[in-house]
Amino acid sequence: MQVSPTAKLLLDLYLDCRILADEHLTMKALITTKIRWNREHQDNFQFAVEELIEKGYLTKANTGLVLTGDGYDFLHKDQAGKSKPIGGHYRH
């Protein structure tokens, strides 16, 4: 399944931060990252969030957005057969 360029940029943040399934990034971390994007991606941020929620890759939580199991699998589809990372991740 394909996602928009802005949605991919948003998911890449979860990958860069080594977020595992059922873990979250805070809205503060997401917004802080968003302001560094170009204008087009900033404008499409909310649409990308809605797209990823509709596809089941993210869910809303009280403090931010949670990466679902499907979202984790989507991010790591190119690493099929390799061991999944253990520990060493951090949260914002």
Query: How high is the pLDDT of residue 61?
Result: 93
How distant is the alpha carbon of residue 24 from its chain centre?
A: 9
Q: What is the pLDDT of residues 41-88, one digit of tens each?
A: 999 999 999 999 999 999 999 989 999 999 999 999 866 544 444 444
Please report the pLDDT score of residue 77 as a whole number. 87
> Domain residues of the chain, as ranges?
5-77
Residue 6: is its pLDDT beyond 60? yes
pLDDT at 32 over 90: yes
Rounded CA separation 86/1 (Å) = 26
CATH of domain 5-77: 1.10.10
Question: What is the distance between the alpha carbons of residues 21 and 67, in angstroms, rounded to a whole number?
Answer: 5
Distance CA 83, CA 66 (A): 22
Give the pLDDT of residue 80: 58
One-letter amino acid identity for 35? Answer: I
